[in-house]
Amino acid sequence: MENLRLEGLSPIASTRSYGTQILGSLPQQTNTQLPPQMFTTAAQLLDMTDKKLMVALRDGRKLIGTLRSWDQYANLVLQSTVERVFVPPLMSSNSSSLSQQQGLYADIPRGVFLVRGENVLLLGEIDLDKDDDAPSGYEIADIEVVQKIANERKIKRAQKEHSRMIKSRKLGLEGDNGGETLY
């Protein structure tokens, strides 16, 4: 991927003429458009077709697969998709114990996956040289173990949020609770 910059534009190119003339000089017509590679539209996916991507969804799931097709709404078709579930290490008051703990992750095979474009939070190309390495700070574990721990933490987090919301209402505050993005 090339590095595109706006540096090097002349000051004349960065200013606009609004029809005023200076003592008989002609107004300069300048083109201040960005190069087409810098636009972040669905057409940008053309460079990512047939490459391995990581897609983070609005509900917090992470999908890893090969981009095979897409449309103008950024709906994606991923092939050989796996859903990667993470369980981060527990935070403790002792900072040295955090550095010794490892988080867990598991890859759940999903096959061909259709992702609706409005649900994509982030997507990025995976470096194939580092693809086989475990994410730093994590070690691979059995799918059932990781899912069980992740579900337990999700339930605890929901209970904690619910109790915080009840306490806020007692104080006369109304929670936001309308957001759709969970992470």
C-alpha span between 63 and 110 (Å, rounded): 9
Largest CA distance in the chain: 78
C-alpha span between 105 and 134 (Å, rounded): 9
Residues 6+ apart with CB under 8 A from 108: 82, 83, 84, 85, 143
What does DSSP assign to residue 121? E
Would you state the pLDDT for residue 3?
Answer: 59
In percent, how much of the chain has pLDDT > 90? 43
Q: Cα(first)–Cα(last) distance of the chain, in Å?
A: 28
pLDDT single digits (tens) 117-168:
999 999 999 988 888 888 888 999 999 999 999 999 999 999 999 999 888 8
Would you state the pLDDT for residue 17?
Answer: 46
Which strand (E) or helix (H) includes residue 43? Answer: none
Given a cut of 90, is residue 46 above it in pLDDT?
Answer: no
Confidence label for 74 from pLDDT (cuts 50, 70 and 90): confident
With 0-12 CB in 10 A as exposed, 13-18 as middle and 19+ as buried, what is 115?
A: buried
Choose between 115 and 46: higher pLDDT.
115
Would you state the pLDDT for residue 14?
Answer: 44
With 0-12 CB in 10 A as exposed, 13-18 as middle and 19+ as buried, what is 113?
A: middle
Given a cut of 60, is residue 70 above it in pLDDT?
Answer: yes
